[in-house]
Amino acid sequence: MTRSLSSMGIVVNALWLSVIVAAGFSAILTFKTVPELEPMVAEYDLIDQTTRSRIVAGLITGPGFQMADLLQWILAPLLIAIIVTQRIANPQAHRNILSWISTLAVLTATAIFVSRYLWLNPTMNAELEIYRTAARAGDPEQIQTTYTAFDRWHVLAENLWSLVGLLLLISLACMGAMACPRSKGG
């Protein structure tokens, strides 16, 4: 049972990390590619091409981040449940520094994700809607002001996504190291 739980923990941790990485790469590629396409959207025809491209790229990536958040709501509790079950099933095996680092990394990643989702996302999304409304109206000064307000939250969200990814990478490395058989003697 211990090996099965260990394997499940590694798989779930890797899946969660993959969700973070996939969302990030998708956004990077979309925001790089869309400006080259010079999109035309009737709703945003009063604004310059750079702003329009940024808005279109955001409209494309938004659903991907929503799906990533949904998956995190599944994977985070599942990974915590696996860790708790491992500790209950074999407490002696989890009295080492790697286990504690892995557990702390997963719990911190979960706390950051939940905080970002419940606290930061509603504020950021409200600012995003104000920015999009200003863009539809076509007032350059209002567009810049509302974009600045939105981007302040967006940069924080990006940093928190990256931090969750780093914590999951640390946890995954610790889990992998704990799963490797140790040689006796030398």
Note the pLDDT tens digit of each residue in 136-186. 999 999 999 999 999 999 999 999 999 999 999 999 999 999 887 665 554
Structure tokens given for 39: 């999109």
CB neighbourhood size of 132 (10 A): 19
pLDDT value, residue 127: 97
pLDDT value, residue 186: 45
- What residues have CB less than 8 Å from 51, skipping those under 6 apart? 44, 135, 143, 147
Spell out, as residue ranges, where the chain has pLDDT lower than 50: 186
Return d(Cα 44, Cα 185) in angstroms, integer: 69
